[in-house]
């Protein structure tokens, strides 16, 4: 038998064409959610039904301008197609997440960048989930209304039927879409309809085997049985409650139950009529939605919302009750995230979450993730004064074991702020602010420790929020200034240049170091104008030194660049502009970029640096050794200077210096030199360190041993001393 060659249709219909890919997406989607739908369609019909929805999603993905809102319609369409099971939503989101960009990403007129399409895909998922939930809510309301109406109708019909003929009574019973049961006032079940039997698992005997008042469930609301007694005594006409029952297989059936008292023609109580609506699925969905709204998707821990609920409960006054809170922020997490990538960072957070969870297992204790690398542990009870210290200790020791990730051992450390007090004394926001400030104190004291809140420190504390709001005006008001720290030739001890280090002279808090505000400026984007100001100012200063200090080699100026500045499209043009206006030659400028900002950088990110390097500007890799970078990677970076992090120099403080540390530094220096990189060491505090580093072959050094960062004229006098 031979198969006739199929006439080929439009290119679109080919399996690899856009239409073919779209269909494949619809197939995957239908395979994922069909099992959890209540549709009467067959699988192929259902897939056909999903195809236009898939097309709609693909259209939204490519729309210009982009607008995710229409994806709400798709969510609503799922509900309309009876995909109301919670699994249908989460499976749909999973399919969109994994396959929409894959199969439909290339279907538009203009190709999208991976990043762009991922961002769009995430917003599409949000809109879809929103549409789904909204439609489900509307539908539930509509259903409830319909049920209430039919319940009323059923009740009056049943009453009439009881007084009229047996047959009509049965007809009402049978046709009802909700469960109906009739019992006498002793609780003996007289009649139940098929719907009710089905709701209870399909066995009529099972339902009849118990009297009404024997259907007790541990989760019954407290007043159910009180209402029941009142009704059978004739003191109440009806009641409505949400009530659980056991089905014959032991699973739980949740119902909206309405019970009415039926009286005989003389008005004497005679029967009770129960109308039941099965709410099990809706309840599960609500629980699931509530779970998702209150838990962190990455770690599964309670999230900020749930934590605040618990904290508020713990803070409400109860005699002799106290609360204790540990606020944890990981030390140096950003460097891990930047250098190993977000996926590795995520896995680290999951591991940390697991460990934290095992620290707080007693009743009254909970752990939550507030976001990023911030976690909290809460304990409540009468003895939190001692307990909270133990909790903080447990948290730190849980972090002490290194985490294995991709074959590396990562040391994870954290800073914990501890707040403790009686219930009824403070608000949640107040407690959290205090915990945040205290955590910051622990970090400032070197991290890897916990600090205890104290009211006086709180009052003095500088909050991140306060600083963030004051930042933008600070630049306009000229509150920033620059200190310079000399860079010294290790060979002959001459000053070879200086690093510009910015400070903020805050009107209330005095002089703040860059570690306090650079991360905030990064976060708000203010780093771009601030960085431009630092560059202009320090280049102007360097030019001034050059003019005054004509003998000796050219004096260099080192300026730090933040990751955001690296991404800023104006970087090259502005740097060139600043250099040209000041007259400083490019070779006298060195831009310092942290190691973590460059690890994993692609060519797009490196391009501006490469352009600057080609012009003669030096690029230094700052804080080298903190970012877990791959030494072999150095070759592809446009850097000419390696600045060894302070931690290496610290290792040499002991006497004699740790031989392993020395070997490591020696190795790095040799490698750097073989790659034509100069090596600068940071944090040289003693003459012994300087001597060791000189012997190992480092080129330049910086540190308190030579000079602390200071005003520009200090550098000038150091230069003059050199010249002498």
DSSP state of 5: P
Site for ligand C2E in 680-719 (CB under 6 A): 682-685, 702-704, 709
- Whole-angstrom distance, CA of residue 78 vs CA of residue 139: 12
Site for ligand C2E in 148-177 (CB under 6 A): none
DSSP state of 402: P
Neighbours of 28 (CB within 10 A): 18
Neighbours of 485 (CB within 10 A): 22
- Whole-angstrom distance, CA of residue 378 vs CA of residue 148: 44
Residue 405: φ, ψ to 5° = -145, 120
| 296, 373, 618, 622: residue in contact with Mg ion (rule CB under 5 A) | 622
Residue 182: φ, ψ to 5° = -125, 135
Binding partner of residue 282 among ligand C2E, Mg ion, none, CB under 5 to 8 Å per kind? none
Binding partner of residue 685 among Mg ion, ligand C2E, none, CB under 5 to 8 Å per kind? ligand C2E
Give yes or no for a contact between 325 and 420, defined as CB atoms under 8 angstroms apart. yes
Report the nearest approach of ligand C2E to the CB of residue 566 (Å).
10
- Whole-angstrom distance, CA of residue 366 vs CA of residue 353: 12
Report the nearest approach of ligand C2E to the CB of residue 312 (Å).
38
Binding of ligand C2E by 513 (CB under 6 A): yes
- Whole-angstrom distance, CA of residue 482 vs CA of residue 663: 36
* Residue (30 or 594) nearer to ligand C2E, CB: 594
Binding of ligand C2E by 338 (CB under 6 A): no
* Residue (485 or 692) nearer to ligand C2E, CB: 485
Binding of ligand C2E by 486 (CB under 6 A): no
Residue in the shown chain whose Cβ atom is closest to ligand C2E: 703
* Residue (483 or 622) nearer to Mg ion, CB: 622
* Residue (259 or 530) nearer to ligand C2E, CB: 530
Site for ligand C2E in 532-551 (CB under 6 A): 534
Both structure tokens of 220? 């019954």
* Residue (210 or 694) nearer to ligand C2E, CB: 694
Listed ranges 53-61, 218-226, 529-537, 677-685: which one lies at the site for Mg ion (CB under 5 A)? 677-685
Residues 6 or more apart whose CB falls under 8 angstroms from that of 662 comprise: 652, 692, 696
* Residue (246 or 481) nearer to ligand C2E, CB: 481
Site for ligand C2E in 58-77 (CB under 6 A): none
Q: What is the DSSP string of 327-394?
A: EEEEETHHHHHHHH-HHHHHHHHHHHHHHHHTT--STTEEEEEEETTEEEEEEEETTHHHHHHHHHHH
Report the nearest approach of ligand C2E to the CB of residue 306 (Å).
36
Binding of ligand C2E by 474 (CB under 6 A): no
Q: What is the DSSP string of 606-659?
A: HHHHHHHHHHT-EEEEEEETSS---GGGGGGS---EEEE-HHHHHTT-SSSPPH
Q: Taking the chain, what is the end-to-end CA distance rounded to the nearest angstrom?
A: 102
Binding partner of residue 709 among ligand C2E, Mg ion, none, CB under 5 to 8 Å per kind? ligand C2E
Both structure tokens of 288? 């699931």
Binding partner of residue 54 among ligand C2E, Mg ion, none, CB under 5 to 8 Å per kind? none
Binding of ligand C2E by 497 (CB under 6 A): no
| 32, 54, 273, 501: residue in contact with ligand C2E (rule CB under 6 A) | 501
Give yes or no for a contact between 298 and 371, defined as CB atoms under 8 angstroms apart. no
Report the nearest approach of ligand C2E to the CB of residue 531 (Å).
6
Report the nearest approach of Mg ion to the CB of residue 305 (Å).
39
Q: Which residues pair with 403 in a beta bridge?
A: 410
Binding of Mg ion by 592 (CB under 5 A): yes
Instruction: Give the interface size with Mg ion as a residue count (CB under 5 A).
Output: 5
| 214, 515, 547, 604: residue in contact with ligand C2E (rule CB under 6 A) | 515
Binding of Mg ion by 277 (CB under 5 A): no
Report the nearest approach of Mg ion to the CB of residue 683 (Å).
8
Give yes or no for a contact between 398 and 382, defined as CB atoms under 8 angstroms apart. no
Residues 6 or more apart whose CB falls under 8 angstroms from that of 556 comprise: 487, 496, 497, 498, 542, 588, 589, 590, 618
* Residue (184 or 685) nearer to ligand C2E, CB: 685
Site for Mg ion in 381-420 (CB under 5 A): none
Give yes or no for a contact between 718 and 486, defined as CB atoms under 8 angstroms apart. yes
Site for Mg ion in 209-228 (CB under 5 A): none
Q: Are strands 678-681 and 641-644 parallel, antiparallel or unpaired?
A: parallel
The DSSP element (H or E) to which 58 belongs, if any, is helix 43-62
Binding partner of residue 661 among Mg ion, ligand C2E, none, CB under 5 to 8 Å per kind? none
Contact letters (x/-) for ligand C2E, 259-288, by CB under 6 A?
------------------------------
* Residue 19 vs residues 54, 93, 112, 141: alpha-carbon distances, Å: 11, 21, 18, 38
Contact letters (x/-) for ligand C2E, 606-645, by CB under 6 A?
----------------xx----------------------
Listed ranges 184-192, 304-312, 513-521, 629-637: which one lies at the site for ligand C2E (CB under 6 A)? 513-521
Report the nearest approach of Mg ion to the CB of residue 626 (Å).
9
| 560, 562, 575, 689: residue in contact with Mg ion (rule CB under 5 A) | 560
Using DSSP, how many helices (H) and how many strands (E) does the chain show?
28, 21
* Residue (387 or 623) nearer to Mg ion, CB: 623
| 436, 592, 618, 722: residue in contact with ligand C2E (rule CB under 6 A) | 592
Secondary structure class of 532 (helix, strand, coil): helix
Binding of Mg ion by 623 (CB under 5 A): yes
Report the nearest approach of Mg ion to the CB of residue 621 (Å).
10
Both structure tokens of 152? 């009323």
Binding of ligand C2E by 502 (CB under 6 A): yes
* Residue 86 vs residues 14, 89, 243, 317, 696: alpha-carbon distances, Å: 35, 5, 21, 38, 64
Listed ranges 394-402, 404-412, 435-443, 585-593: which one lies at the site for Mg ion (CB under 5 A)? 585-593
- Whole-angstrom distance, CA of residue 33 vs CA of residue 29: 6
Report the nearest approach of ligand C2E to the CB of residue 682 (Å).
6
Closest to 377 in 3D by CA, of 325, 332, 322, 442: 325
Residue 359: φ, ψ to 5° = -85, -20
DSSP state of 213: G
Residue for token pair 């420190």: 457
Report the nearest approach of ligand C2E to the CB of residue 716 (Å).
19
Give yes or no for a contact between 101 and 61, defined as CB atoms under 8 angstroms apart. yes
| 514, 651, 697, 710: residue in contact with ligand C2E (rule CB under 6 A) | 514
Report the nearest approach of Mg ion to the CB of residue 622 (Å).
4
Binding partner of residue 704 among ligand C2E, Mg ion, none, CB under 5 to 8 Å per kind? ligand C2E
The DSSP element (H or E) to which 274 belongs, if any, is strand 269-278
Site for ligand C2E in 431-450 (CB under 6 A): none
Binding partner of residue 693 among Mg ion, ligand C2E, none, CB under 5 to 8 Å per kind? none
Listed ranges 18-26, 270-278, 481-489, 553-561: which one lies at the site for Mg ion (CB under 5 A)? 553-561
What is the contact surface with ligand C2E in residues (CB under 6 A)?
A: 485, 501-502, 513-515, 518, 531, 534, 560-562, 592, 622-623, 646, 682-685, 702-704, 709
What is the contact surface with Mg ion in residues (CB under 5 A)?
A: 560, 592, 622-623, 682
């Amino acid at each position: 038998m031979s198969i006739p060659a199929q006439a080929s249709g439009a290119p679109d219909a080919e399996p690899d064409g856009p239409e073919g890919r779209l269909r494949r997406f619809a197939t995957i989607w239908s395979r994922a959610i069909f099992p959890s739908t209540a549709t009467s369609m067959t699988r192929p019909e259902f897939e056909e039904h999903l195809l236009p929805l898939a097309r709609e999603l693909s259209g939204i993905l490519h729309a210009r301008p982009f607008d995710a809102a229409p994806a709400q319609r798709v969510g609503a369409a799922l509900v309309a197609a009876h995909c109301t099971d919670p699994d249908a939503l989460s499976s749909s989101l999973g399919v969109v997440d994994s396959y929409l960009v894959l199969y439909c990403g290339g279907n538009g007129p203009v190709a999208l960048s991976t990043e762009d399409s991922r961002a769009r895909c995430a917003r599409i998922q949000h809109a879809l989930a929103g549409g789904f939930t909204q439609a489900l809510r509307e539908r539930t309301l509509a259903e409830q209304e319909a049920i209430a109406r039919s319940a009323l109708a059923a009740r009056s019909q049943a009453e009439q039927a009881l007084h009229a003929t047996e047959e009509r009574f049965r007809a009402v019973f049978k046709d009802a879409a909700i469960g109906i049961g009739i019992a006498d006032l002793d609780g003996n079940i007289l009649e139940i309809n098929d719907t009710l039997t089905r709701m209870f698992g399909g066995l009529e005997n099972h339902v009849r085997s118990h009297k009404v008042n024997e259907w007790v469930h541990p989760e019954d609301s407290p007043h159910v049985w009180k209402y029941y007694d009142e009704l059978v005594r004739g003191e109440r006409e009806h009641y409505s409650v949400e009530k659980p029952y056991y089905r014959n297989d032991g699973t739980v059936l949740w119902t909206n139950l309405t019970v009415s008292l039926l009286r005989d023609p003389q008005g004497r109580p005679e029967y009770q009529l129960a109308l039941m609506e099965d709410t099990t699925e809706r309840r599960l969905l609500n629980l699931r939605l509530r779970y998702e709204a209150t838990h962190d998707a990455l770690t599964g821990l309670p999230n900020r919302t749930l934590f605040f609920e618990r904290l508020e409960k713990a803070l409400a006054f109860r005699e002799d009750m106290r609360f204790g809170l540990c606020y944890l922020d990981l030390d140096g997490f950003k460097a891990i995230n930047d250098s190993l990538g977000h996926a590795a960072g995520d896995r680290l957070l999951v591991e940390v979450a697991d460990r934290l969870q095992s620290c707080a297992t007693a009743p009254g204790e909970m752990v939550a993730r507030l976001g990023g690398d911030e976690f909290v542990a809460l304990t409540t009870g009468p003895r939190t004064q001692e307990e909270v210290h133990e909790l903080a200790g447990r948290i730190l020791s849980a972090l002490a074991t290194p985490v294995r990730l991709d074959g590396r051992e990562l040391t994870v450390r954290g800073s914990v702020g501890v707040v403790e007090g009686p219930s009824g004394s403070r608000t949640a926001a107040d407690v959290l602010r205090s915990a945040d400030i205290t955590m910051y104190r622990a970090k400032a004291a070197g991290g890897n420790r916990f600090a205890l809140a104290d009211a006086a420190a709180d009052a003095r504390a500088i909050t991140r929020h306060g600083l963030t709001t004051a930042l933008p005006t600070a630049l306009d008001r000229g509150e920033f200034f620059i200190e310079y720290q000399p860079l010294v030739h290790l060979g002959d001890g001459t000053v070879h240049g200086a690093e510009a280090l910015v400070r903020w002279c805050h009107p209330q808090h005095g002089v703040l170091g860059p570690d306090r505000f650079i991360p905030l400026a990064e976060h708000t984007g203010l780093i771009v104008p601030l960085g431009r100001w630092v560059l202009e100012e320090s280049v102007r200063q360097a030019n001034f030194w050059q003019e005054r200090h004509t003998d000796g080699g050219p004096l260099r100026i080192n300026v730090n660049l933040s990751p955001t500045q690296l991404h800023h499209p104006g970087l090259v043009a502005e740097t060139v502009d600043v250099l040209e206006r000041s007259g400083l030659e490019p070779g006298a400028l060195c831009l310092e970029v942290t190691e973590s900002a460059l690890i994993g950088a692609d060519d797009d990110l490196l391009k501006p640096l490469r352009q600057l390097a080609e012009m003669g500007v030096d690029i230094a890799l700052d804080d080298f050794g903190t970012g877990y970078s791959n030494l072999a990677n150095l070759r592809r970076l446009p850097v000419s200077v390696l600045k060894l992090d302070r931690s290496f120099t610290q290792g040499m403080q002991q006497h004699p210096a740790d031989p392993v540390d020395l070997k490591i530094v020696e190795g790095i220096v040799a490698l750097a030199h073989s790659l034509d990189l100069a090596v600068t060491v940071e944090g040289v505090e003693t003459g012994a360190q300087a001597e060791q580093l000189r012997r190992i072959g480092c080129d330049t050094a910086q540190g308190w041993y030579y000079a602390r960062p200071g005003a520009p004229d200090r550098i000038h006098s150091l230069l003059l001393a050199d010249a002498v």
